[in-house]
Amino acid sequence: MQDEPLPTRRRARLLPTILGRLALSAALGLAILAGLVWGGIIVVPRHLNPFAPLRVADEVNWLTRIKLSRLERSGPQCLGVLAESDVSYRPVSDREDRDGCGLSNAVEVTEASRALSGNFTASCPLAVAWALFDRHVVGPSARRHLRQDVARVVHFGTYACRNINHRAEGRRSEHATANAIDLAGFVLADGQQITVRADWTGSDPRRAAFLRDVRDGACGFFDVVLSPDYNEAHHDHFHFDMGAYRACR
């Protein structure tokens, strides 16, 4: 058998070096580009600028979730984003109750772009996620499937010092820090009521499609979204939270 030709062996040895140089050049180019964007020399639309703070009114894209996640590490920035949204709110004092329950950087939400069945207390990141959901999912989904808007959102609340599924033992629920909300249904502009309990598997396919569209859209903003497809405990509501895990079911 003949030996491998010398030029072929040389190319094989040089290939890692060439690839390394290409990778270094690409990284350097990206760093220069990022610096130009950061310095404002290259102007990029806000919603496409990874350095621009989140704004609820901006067009949603893959950067939205990245910007939303940053708010969990910056209370003042989170409140600043909320202040520019459609959410009406007032700050809530921090408090530590017991055994992993309590509030930190929380607000009381009284209204968003549509009415609520009642005020709710939420961590700031949850409130911002709600503002995004309310603006970019609820209204568009209703108009798409039901040809009208939603006038009011009905929820089961947020804060509850308890474990997951109300178990006596186990991990604390995200509700224990007002980092979760349970959504039960909607009241349309013409007064019709749509509920998860009655319409998820109800006889009207438009209502069922609307609820599934709402569930799927919520997954773009909340870390955990649970529906009746998850288990029987959620037969009458959606669970949304901003916890450490990811689920969309």
Residue type present at position 184 = A
Report mean pLDDT in 10-residue bins for the chain, 249 residues.
56 66 62 56 74 93 95 93 95 86 95 95 98 97 98 97 86 95 98 98 97 98 98 97 95
pLDDT at position 33: 47
How many whole angstroms separate alpha carbon 5 and alpha carbon 173?
A: 66
Model-level pTM?
0.83
pLDDT at position 40: 64
pLDDT at position 195: 98
Which ranges constitute the DSSP H helices of 39-182?
62-70, 75-83, 124-133, 139-146
pLDDT at position 237: 98
pLDDT at position 70: 93
How many whole angstroms separate alpha carbon 80 and alpha carbon 75?
A: 9
pLDDT at position 66: 94
pLDDT at position 169: 83
Q: Which of 108, 114, 113 is nearest to 90 (CA)?
A: 108
Q: Are 115 and 153 in contact (CB under 8 A)?
A: yes
